[in-house]
Amino acid sequence: MMAILPLFKTAYYDIKRSRLYQVLLLFVFFMLASSNVFTFFTRGEEIKIIKDFGLMAINLFGILFILFGLSRHLPREIEDKTIYTILTNPATRTHILIANLCAYLYALLIGFLIMTAIFYGILYLKEGGLDPLMAKGIILIYMKVLVFSTLVLFFSVVFSPLITIAFSLFLYIAGHLTNYLSSLADQKNFLGWSLLKGLYTILPNFENFNCSGSLVLGTDVSWRYIGLTGIYSFLYGMVLFLLTCILFKRREI
Amino acid sequence: MPIIKTENLTKVYKDFWGRPKTRALSGLNLEIHKGEIFGLLGPNGSGKTTALKLMLGLIFPTTGNVSVMGKPPRDINLKSKIGFMPEESYLYRFLNASETLRFYGQLLGLKGKELNNRVDRVLNIVGLDRVRTQPLREYSKGMSRRMGLAQVLLKEPEICVLDEPTIGLDPIGAGEIKDIIQELKNKGTTVLFSTHILSEAEPLCDRIGILYEGRLIAMGALTDILEVKDEVEVVKTRETLEEFYIRTIKNRDTSHFSK
């Protein structure tokens, strides 16, 4: 287990200096800063637009960072063969996966904290106060990206970055439609019902985390709901991560 | 007891769908003893690197077994006792020499003064002390090879596995690496190295094995295999390793074509 910390530190150092991370942070910073511009189109709803835009920008940062960063991280280690030198030291493949995932989630957390500060700064200038509901929205987005990260990592141990990106993106969209799948299943015969219900059970339900719309409108989400969603994201992520470890242990590098 | 033992070791590389693609190694039986320098020789593509990777537990055998110090090669307790220098330096290019060695030292569980002392000492041995703050991406090939060796020496290993250790080095650099290998042997370290440069194997190795098309076609102590005997087993002359190597591979080729 002592190998995880140096692996984590090196992976985080690599992420921090990566162009993707820096460019995305900068991009979202400009998005947040320019959110004011869009309020011209909807007079009277400036605050709502800024909040909506802010949460969307943070979500976009998380998804793009994980999609284009994590999908390439492990394949690059395998392609550059740096993994050989690591594995001939007291480190296992599972250590590498844990360290990489934690490094990405940590970099994500730092990114989210920076963006939250900017977001609240803008809101404070506009509203003259700090809306606690936005923090709840950001926490839910972080949980969603956590599940998405384990999904991307899972594909990245088997497939090339391009296929990983395609599959992850497909499941990200499908994960937002799982409630639709469930209601569709009720209208089908047994075979169709089993297939759709099976998909509904297996696919991550990203709609659970999608409370931005109501939070922007001022409808509160209870801490109990956030806690339960947190447990869901942790358990889903954990199961997927364990599967990833099993797959990676057997993979030829 | 041999320190490394392979039994009927075979490796067939497969494609994504699990269909056999290349047979890299066939039925390798090898025993490497404690404290010796063993040279694994063979032309390019003969299976040397595959054999080393199997002995290090980096890839899985298709059939057969490997044991290192009586344990399977993937045993994590073994890892701090084996140093591996791959044929290219597979290190993080964004780190500098000092950071790289600190990283590998931390993987070994070293810290504080002990880690600092080892990093300083090893950088001195490989002659990279003056460029320790320069990122590895700015290193020449020779410097990168030295860095690969530094990562091995940092471990103070019981077994050193070196894949083509002098490839890409100038004669002075190659000579220095050979001196380090000899020094390791003097300290009692077992050294297994692969090469196709015979002139560097002959003065260093106690025993050699020749791989050709994935098969071990000759193995033994240099003193024994280089003796050319006549029909009544009286020693007549002594071949050079190069002569022996060419004769063995040519014989193999002839027998292969006559089938």
This model of the complex carries an ipTM of: 0.85
Note whether B176 and B147 are within 8 A (CB): no
Contact call for B106 and A6, based on CB within 8 A: yes
Whether the CB of B57 is below 8 Å from some CB of chain A: the reply is: yes
Give contacts of B 123-182 with A, CB under 8 A. 148, 151, 155, 161
- Provide, rounded to the nearest whole percent, the portion of chain B with pLDDT above 70: 93
**pLDDT, tens digit (0-9, with 9 covering 90-100), for B97-133:** 999 999 999 999 998 999 999 999 999 988 888 999 9
Give contacts of A 120-179 with B, CB under 8 A. none
Average pLDDT, chain B: 86
Whether the CB of A1 is below 8 Å from some CB of chain B: the reply is: no
pLDDT at B221 over 80: yes
The reported pLDDT for the residue numbered B118 is 94
**pLDDT, tens digit (0-9, with 9 covering 90-100), for A85-109:** 999 999 999 999 999 999 999 999 9
Distance CA A224, CA A236 (A): 18
Poorest-pLDDT segment among A60-69, A218-227, B161-170: B161-170
CB within 8 Å of B229: residues ≥ 6 apart: B235, B236
Return the domain boundaries, chain B: 4-258
The reported pLDDT for the residue numbered A33 is 82
> Which of A13, A88, A252 is nearest residue B79 as measured by Cβ atoms?
A88
Structurally, chain A folds into a number of domains equal to 1
- Can you tell me the mean pLDDT for B79-92? 89
Tell me which residue range forms the domain holding A9. Answer: 4-250
Distance CA B137, CA B143 (A): 10
**Closest-approach residue (CA) in chain B for A1:** B107
Distance CA B218, CA B60 (A): 24
* Closest-CA distance of chain B to residue A159, Å: 10
Mutation for B interface: A21, A85, A86, most B CBs within 10 A: A85
Mapping DSSP onto H, E and C, the string for chain B reads CCCEEEEEEEEEEECCCCCEEEEEEEEEEEEECCCCEEEEECCCCCCHHHHHHHHCCCCCCCEEEEEECCECCCCHHHHHHEEEECCCCCCCCCCEHHHHHHHHHHHCCCCHHHHHHHHHHHHHHCCCHHHCCCEHHHCCHHHHHHHHHHHHHCCCCCEEEEECCCCCCCHHHHHHHHHHHHHHHHCCCEEEEEECCHHHHCCCCCEEEEEECCEEEEEEEHHHHCEEECCCCCEEEECCHHHHHHHHHHHHHHHHHHC
The reported pLDDT for the residue numbered B19 is 86
Note whether B108 and B116 are within 8 A (CB): no
The reported pLDDT for the residue numbered B232 is 61
The label of the residue with tokens 């995305």 reads: A24
The reported pLDDT for the residue numbered A126 is 81
* Closest-CA distance of chain B to residue A204, Å: 27
Mutation for A interface: B71, B82, B90, most A CBs within 10 A: B90
The reported pLDDT for the residue numbered B259 is 38
CB-CB neighbors (< 8 A) of B155 in chain A: 89
CB-CB neighbors (< 8 A) of B151 in chain A: 85
How far does Cα B217 stand from its chain's mean position? 18
Contact call for A82 and B90, based on CB within 8 A: yes
Note whether B184 and B160 are within 8 A (CB): yes
CB-CB neighbors (< 8 A) of A87 in chain B: 56-58
A–B interface: beta-carbon pairs under 8 A: 71
Distance CA B115, CA A153 (A): 33
Distance CA A63, CA A173 (A): 12
Return phi, psi of residue B53, to 5°: -65, -35
Arch. (CATH architecture) of B4-258: 3-Layer(aba) Sandwich (3.40)
* Closest-CA distance of chain A to residue B146, Å: 14
Contact call for A90 and B92, based on CB within 8 A: no
**pLDDT, tens digit (0-9, with 9 covering 90-100), for A109-119:** 999 999 999 99
